[in-house]
Amino acid sequence: MAIHSYVPEDPLEETELPEIVFVGRSNVGKSSLIKAITRGGADVRVGKRPGVTRWPVFHELDGELVLVDMPGFGFMSGVPRRHQERVKDLIVEYLETKDNILFAVHVVDAKALPEIAERWEKRGEIPIDREMFQFLNEQGLDPIVAANKIDKIKPVEFEEHMDAVVEALGLFPPWRQWLDTVFPVSAKTGEGLVEFLEAMQEKVKKAGHPEFARFFRTR
């Protein structure tokens, strides 16, 4: 598979190719996951240059399908609030405007999410990931969740922890009710990637593009 990774000049205009968008807070491992599922083929460094981080990065597969690495939303230390708001607006505009998005992958840091969500709730605010997950559903983007960094969760705490992850997203536990929506993965160790890739194959088929299943082969 040939992969062309680049930062588009105007992401809203750029391409009419079908897209799969990856959204998530900063540092959850979006680019690591894209790198893992493309077996290192995607050059995820292109988005890490200073000054371009608030733009989506396009990873074009065989000139047929684009994996879009959206800029991270939410708090990032050292980044002014003004900038965070702009990023959020850009993401919302992008998801509302583009009509060539097949579906969305919402990437979360499974280890950190329950605690972060609890902090928001204590302040009387809706956790930003719950807001985003609801927005993706409302937009008809049929999101699946990649619950990343599961290597950081103790095995004995895994079930309970995953219940807290789905709750943070506004879904009812037990999390195993959501096995077709929520996929525990580790971009670092590769755990769970087979199930996630199989889900990606199913999703592109359901979206009317069985030919794209080849991009998500499990081996």
Q: How far is the CB of 46 from ligand GDP (least distance, A)?
A: 12
Q: Which stretch binds ligand GDP (CB under 6 A): 89-97, 119-127, 148-156, 207-215?
A: 148-156
Q: Which stretch binds ligand GDP (CB under 6 A): 21-29, 85-93, 119-127, 156-164?
A: 21-29
> 148, 168, 193, 203: which one contacts ligand GDP (CB under 6 A)?
148
Q: Which residue spans within 41-173 are E strands per DSSP?
A: 57-61, 65-69, 101-109, 144-148
| CB-based contacts of 73, cutoff 8 Å, min separation 6 | 23, 24, 25, 26, 84, 87, 88, 91, 128, 132
| CB-based contacts of 189, cutoff 8 Å, min separation 6 | 151
Nearer to ligand GDP, 27 or 209 (CB): 27
Q: How far is the CB of 31 from ligand GDP (least distance, A)?
A: 3
Joined together, the tokens standing for residue 126 give 């809706």
Q: How far is the CB of 211 from ligand GDP (least distance, A)?
A: 28
> 15, 32, 181, 201: which one contacts ligand GDP (CB under 6 A)?
32
**Side-by-side strand order, sheet with 19-23:** 3-6, 57-61, 65-69, 19-23, 101-109, 144-148, 182-184
Contacts to ligand GDP from residues 37-76, by CB under 6 A: 72
List contacts with ligand GDP (CB under 6 A).
24, 26-32, 72, 148-149, 151-152, 186-188
